[in-house]
Chains A and B, each alone.
Chain A
Amino acid sequence: MASIATSRIKPKHQRLVLLVVALVVLVAAGLLAAWALRNQASYFYVPSEMQADPPEPGRAVRLGGMVEEGSLKTQADGVTIAFVVGDGDARIPVRFSGIVPSLFVEGSGVVAEGRLGPDGTFLADNLLAKHDENYVPRELQEMSEHQTERVVAAPQ
């Protein structure tokens, strides 16, 4: 019976205790979330940003830009591709192993998920393309229409 007695709270304060416990947990969840987000959120870069201020190698980030015309090459294993993502100011080489989304073509916009390798090549785990072709990633809206046009419409 002793353990029951100790586990009982003074009834008067029960509501207060419950409230405080709930609040503490929720605040802890909030702080934890904020802390984890600072560390885990993958930041979005366009090529010129990545060139000017590269993320530390190994950190999960996203790279968005236009796939340069003529840069897409398939490597000998048949499943790894290399291409260059540009925004009109800077160019970042990207490597990706896997099945390429069908909407991924040269001259189109792409968002690559992955990390920057030590040699300056971006190693993508994932290429994002939406279901429909009429898709400009929201993140790319930042890139001026003019930049987009320069990369897309000017085959090298």
Chain B
Amino acid sequence: MIAEFGLAALWLAAALAALQLLAGSLSLTRGGEGFAAIVRPAAVVQGLLALVSFFALMVLFLRTDLSVQLVAMNSHSAKPFVFKLAGTWGNHEGSMLLWVMVMGLAGSLIALIERRLPERTMLATLAGQAFVSLGFYAFLLFSSNPFERLDPAPPQGAGLNPLLQDIGLAFHPPTLYLGYVGLSVAFSFAIGALITREVGPAFARAMRPWVLGAWVFLTVGITAGSYWAYYELGWGGWWFWDPVENASLMPWLAATALLHSASVLASRNALRAWTVMLGVVAFSMSMVGTFLVRSGILTSVHAFAVDPERGTFILVLLAINIGGALTLFGLRAATVTEGKRFALVSREGALVFNNVMLSAILGIVLFGTLYPLVTEAFDTRVSVGPPYFNPVSAIFFVPMLLVLMVGPLLRWRRDNLSRLRRRLVVPGLLLLAAVAALLAIGGIGVLPFIGLALAVALAAASLLPLRGRNLRRTPIATWGMVAAHFGIAVALFGAASESAFTKETLVAARVGDVTQVGPWQVRLDAIEPVAGPNWTAMRAGLSVRYGEGAVRQLKPQARSFWSPPQQTAESALLTRWNGQLYAVLGEEGEDGRWQLRLWWKPFVTLIWIGGLLIGLGGVLAIVAHVANDVRRSVAREKIADRRMRQGR
């Protein structure tokens, strides 16, 4: 019953989305203004129905209703509660339902509370939102119905790959999805603004919280995904420039550019056409990413259920939505009036520089990711990896960081660099000190060298906007900006330190052997078998000692699952304030020695701490803007109130 109920709710939601699109479009035509009243209610109800449908699926998963095909194939009655819950979206159909649900709710929310924009722009925005949603509803209802029944019901569910029963994996994809959906809202706003040519500060302010929210989710999702790959794959790396990773990085780059250009538009009413285009591009990148991951068109090290048919469907959606939006852009952008002007040396100028550089990096990542497809067209197979991505993106990343040091200190409209000379003394001296120290250490590659030196200077420079301020009275938005920029310095330091100072040892050891990795002494004490619910493992007992410090234990495992049969290396990590010791146990050789791979990675944890700081900066910015908006609307009401009374 619940399944049919959920399906009915989904159909109704789709119907309302159609109504929302139709009424929204008609209301923009001459004589159709009467339809305007339907649009907002339709958006609200559509979101609620999508939510109901998603809840129905969740209940089915929690009850392990095996008469529903999706549940039977992805769940098992013996699974822990949290994984039953995660099972709802841990598969293609469920994740698509999650997508439309969040998108519907986002539509409801803007329909309910967004009153700053001209009403026609809002109608166009909601119509755009409905149009994008309709594509996904069609996808769900016609090609991947999550509520399909199975007759007869099997006695037991198929279960979930034990490797995927990982709390990180259960929550990682939805985090990224939330980011993608947030960008879809920005996309709808851009469409609405283009249709009515109302590209102004109000548009940027309405769009900004969504972009920021999406950006926070993407930041956290990428950070978490990187850490997951780091400890789970057992390769010691944290970023592989793999297509799946690039698929999440590209929307992040576009969203970063977008939120900076939106802040120019919101405060200074400049960069109008550019911001609109970035709104379109950011969501395009989400869809391109989803498409690349789902279609299996590129080879990736990360396992994913790929399906060319679904890939084609996403491509069609992509072509309609993005192709349409860019056509609209081509037609309308020329008639968007030019924004306010500014001098090259100004806050706007710095942000434009940031935008251009981010776009260049985005282009480089996109190009590198797609290049194997290009050459395949000419019958040459290539793979593109770090030797391409690292230096080429650094060429644009480094100047961007240099400008980042001064940008937040500049005034809007026009400024004078000589004014800043004295404030930049500290970062400048730190930069020189770092360069000297690194030269003294020696033997560091070019990129890590630049990264370390820049990170030190940037960390200092990013704090400068706080200098000379009363810290209690500093606006939250400024704190957010400082946190995010400082986070970039922290993450950069971690990444550069990891690649400059990592020590690696690979040995075949007998029990009792002692090896050295960096400052650590590692002794193999024992190899013992251990067993879990669905795996057996050989576990190494390692006694490790940092310099002359206390002896600590580390227990990496080589695990074998039997259903389905699979072998994994469970790496063991030991975190100190100044880095991580990373141990992986390999196989037993014929002579009874065990392969042991050890890494000492100084300050590697800073990569993810920095990532989280960046996310925190985004959260602070949202809080600041939302609080501001609320304060403004309260003030406006008061004024209106007073006027009314005076009028009497």
Contacts and interface: CB of A to CB of B under 8 A. Distances in A.
Q: Do chains A and B touch in the complex (CB under 8 A)?
A: yes
B475 interface: no
Interface stretch (B137-145, B352-360, B528-536, B608-616): B352-360
Contact of B383 (A22, A28, A41): A41
B371 interface: yes
B303 A41 contact: no
B316 interface: no
B569 A42 contact: no
Interface string A118-156: 000000000010111100011100100000000000000
A62 B387 contact: no
Contacts of A8: 343-344, 414
B589 interface: yes
B359 A22 contact: yes
Given A97-B506, A98-B597, A100-B587, A131 B302 contact: yes
A60 interface: yes
Interface stretch (B111-119, B391-399, B423-431, B442-450): B391-399
A41 B371 contact: yes
Given A14-B341, A62-B383, A74-B589, A79 B507 contact: yes
Interface string B550-563: 00000000100000
Contact of A99 (B359, B396, B586, B593): B586
A82 B590 CA distance: 14
Q: Which of B385, B396, B558, B590 has the most CB of A within 10 A?
A: B385
Interface stretch (B23-31, B55-63, B361-369): B361-369
B637 interface: no
B384 interface: yes
Interface residues of B, number: 60
A147 to B, nearest CB: 16
Contacts, number: 140
Contacts of B302: 131
A42 B383 contact: yes
Interface in A1-59: 3-4, 7-9, 11, 14-15, 18, 21-22, 25-26, 28-30, 32-34, 36-37, 40-44
B299 A137 contact: yes
Interface residues of A, number: 48
A3 B303 contact: no
A4 B388 contact: no
B568 A102 contact: yes
A9 B391 contact: no
A103 interface: yes
Given A8-B414, A128-B301, A138-B299, A21 B356 contact: yes
Contacts of A40: 384-385, 387-388, 392
Contacts of B395: 32
B584 interface: yes
A33 B369 CA distance: 11
A60 B382 CA distance: 11
A132 B508 CA distance: 26
Contacts of A137: 299
A40 B383 CA distance: 9
B285 to A, nearest CB: 15
Contacts of A132: 303, 566
Interface of A: 3-4, 7-9, 11, 14-15, 18, 21-22, 25-26, 28-30, 32-34, 36-37, 40-44, 60, 62, 74, 77-79, 97-100, 102-103, 113, 128, 130-133, 137-139, 142
The 5 closest A-B pairs by CB, nearest first: A78-B508, A102-B567, A99-B586, A44-B381, A29-B360
Given A32-B392, A102-B558, A132-B303, 4 more contacts: A11-B341, A41-B383, A44-B382, A142-B381
